[in-house]
Structure 1
Amino acid sequence: MSQNKIETDSESSRKVVFFSTRPYEKNVFTALLCERNKSLPPRIEATFFEHPLNPSTAASCKGFSDVVVFVNDNVNAETIDALKHADVEHIALRCAGFNNVDVNAATRAGISVSRVPAYSPETVAEHTLALILTLNRKTHKAYNRVREGNFNLAGLIGFTLHNKTVGVIGTGRIGKAVIRILLGFGCRVLCFDPIEDVSVKKMGAHYVSLDELFAMSAIVTLHCPLNEHSHHIINESSLAQMPDGVMLINTSRGGLVDNDAIIKGLKSRKIGYLGLDVYERESELFFVDHSQEIIQDDVFQRLTTFPNVLITGHQGFFTEEALEEIANTTIDNILSGSNRL
């Protein structure tokens, strides 16, 4: 297991351990901490682990006041019990979603939890549109053809996005950023959210029931949190309500989609295009190079066989601006306790 440490010479410091840390994250946090630690205490003594946090690795947190985790770390009740025995005070998520953390168990253990509720929402919104446009105009396939000297346009036909009806499920910061871009393309935008936002209506989008959204949308894109109400919101029943050939995009959380239903929808051509930046069992796959291995996830492997499926490895957040915002907010949460759940 790889470990790197940034130390301070101040007695007034917080010892913080980062899990599932990739080199690009370490670089951003290291630069930020070097700058932050020049100011008044408390300063941060940071240790970076590449391996994930789970019940087996939680014992390594002894001596740390804060643990910093990402989307695929397993912070369940068993992990939290181990963190409590290690005297950990705070769990800081360097992401917006917190469905991988048993918040109730953390509360019972007296461990506070914080997250990064908003970081450059345009970042994920732009990746959402990149999936839509790539699937539609098949630029990924055209790129490969041209590199091989093949300029045949057969099979590359798309549709005009202007005037198409797009259904946006979830109108938080990312959902609203997606809506602004879609309206700029001249789309008719329908929305569903349990809490309607007046600013969304002022932009020109229309709130409808979930059933209406499914029935009327040529494209459905997901931007809602994963919870007991939204789990598998895309399933066999909801797909049956959608028009044939619908485009489905998920850049939010993998658990929003029932993969068995999705595969059936692809085989029946109910789903004409599928763009995924997240996957329900991505913790065993994403953020790691498996190119020299045989991937054992049969569902994921099946999805990759369809010519109308485009999957990216949870990179919707991955811009320089977003990483800097994530790092700054995470450190602020550790130092000041802001944004705690």
Structure 2
Amino acid sequence: MMKFIAFNAREDEQQYFEAWEKKNGVQVDMVEEAIDSTSINQTVGYDGVLALQTGVFPEKMFDKLSKNGVKVFAIRNVGVDNLDLEAAKKNGIKVTNVPAYSPNAIAEFSVTQLMQLLRNTTIFRRKVAEHDFRWAPFVGKELRSLTVGVIGTGRIGRAAIDIYLGFGAKVIAYDVYPNPELVQEGLYVSSYDELFAQADVITMHMPATPKDHHLINADTIAKMKKGVYIINTARGSLINTPDLIKAIKDGQVAGAALDTYENESPLFNHDLRGKELEDKTFSELLELDNVLVTPHVAFYTETAVKNMVFIALDSAKSVCEKGHADTLVI
């Protein structure tokens, strides 16, 4: 009988794992732990491993998985930038991902966060809690009066563009791999610098690559319009956080919504109530009224969770039965 083991299995995923297991007659065991140098020993005897973690995987993970008899490694998310794909290939382990679990979930969330920044809702929530009901000087902005620069025009970026256009905003976009339909619509600019110079809002929906590490930094921020808003629901490594903080304090950046953070693994999806945060940069972010920090939850809707589980399991099953899957990375 085919057997899979799912790491980082959450309570909200359980009903979907169980429904798929019952329908397909494949054993699926769930563990709460992430894959580390100890928990990886639990993979002995399994055909496939399902994972969901944005941080660092254990050293020589694919060597160990191969020795344990694992045939397929199925990520329940899009990004594979934290996986050693060459090591997977060397060890004969197929890797799959979930390229589109719900583009609209992330796109909608990014717009929601921007709208809060534009209308100063964080500041007004604090003021109301203090029984200060005055308005000034926190006047808002209307989205339809702004130019939104979308970096990355894949499924998520395209969904975001549609929403922004619905609000009546002017949209410009940049992507190293332009979408032919958007080319016809005339939305693309020719470079990052051109987008930085024109955009009132910069929203990122792109993968992380070595070339784009710290795309947002002191030098690039200086090329942006004063009072720009920055939205990141993509990857934390795209932003040099200390540079962003300085730009916010200096007024060059009017606000930022960050659903991802470069050093998020020790923080996000952990209960740290009552504990002092060791990451001083992150603590500094949290103190800023015009910064919205959320713990990598842009994807987190019922639709997305179901799709992430079902597509990852379908992919793993397909690899084990047929040697390939539509979602194959390598």
Query: Is TM (by shorter chain) over 0.5?
Result: yes
Structure-1 separation of matches of 2:281 and 2:170: 34
Partner of 1:18: 6
Contact 1:20/1:73 (8 A) holds in 2 = no
| Cα drift, residue 123 of structure 1 | 0.6
Deviation at 1:208, TM superposition (A): 2.9
Map Cα deviations across residues 162-216 of structure 1 (whole Å, 9 max, x no partner): 1311111100000000111111111111111111112223456233311100111
% identical aligned pairs:
34
1:71 alignment counterpart: 53
Which one of the candidate residues 21, 32, 35 is aligned to 2:20?
A: 32
Per-residue displacement from partner, 1:74-133 (whole Å, max 9, x unpaired)? 335522222122121111000011112111111111111000001221110000001100
The verdict on how the C-alpha distance between 1:183 and 1:165 changes in structure 2, with shifts beyond 3 A counting, is same
CA–CA separation in structure 1 for the residues paired with 2:59 and 2:90: 10
Aligned residues of 1:180 and 1:203 also touching (Cα < 8 A): no
CA distance in 1, matches of 2:289, 2:122: 11
Where in structure 2 are the equivalents of 1:1-341 lying within 5 Å?
A: 13-34=1-22, 36-37=23-24, 43-72=25-54, 74-75=56-57, 77-146=59-128, 149-203=131-185, 205-337=187-319, 338=325, 339-341=327-329
- Superimposed CA distance per residue, residues 41-99 of structure 1 (whole angstroms, 9 cap, x where no aligned partner): xx321121111112332222111111111132533552222212212111100001111
**CA RMSD across the alignment:** 1.7
Equivalent in the alignment of 1:3:
none
Q: How many residues align?
A: 323
2-side partners of 1:306 and 1:150: how far apart? Answer: 19
CA deviation string 1:247-287 (max 9, x = no partner): 00000011111112112212222111010000111111111
- Select between 90-99 and 55-64 the one with higher mean Cα deviation: 55-64
CA distance in 1, matches of 2:239, 2:290: 17
DSSP-derived class of the 2:145 partner: coil
Greater RCO, CA 8 A, separation 6+: 2
Per-residue CA deviations over 1:214-260 (Å, capped at 9, x if unaligned) read: 11111101111011122211112111101111100000011111112
Gaps of 5+ in 1: 1-12, 38-42
Q: Which is further off, 262-271 or 182-191?
A: 262-271
Aligned counterparts of 1:239 and 1:229: Cα–Cα separation in 2? 17
- Rounded to whole Å, the distance in 1 between the matches of 2:239 and 2:107 is 19
1:145 Cα deviation after fit: 4.2
- 1:148 is displaced (CA, Å) by 5.7
What is the rounded CA distance, in whole Å, between the counterparts of 2:185 and 2:53 in structure 1?
A: 31
Tell me the secondary structure at the aligned position of residue 143 of structure 2.
Answer: coil
Unaligned 5+ residue runs, structure 2?
A: 320-324
After TM superposition, the score normalised by the length of structure 1 is: 0.90
Alpha-carbon distance in structure 1 between the residues aligned to 2:138 and 2:203 = 22
CA distance in 1, matches of 2:62, 2:102: 30
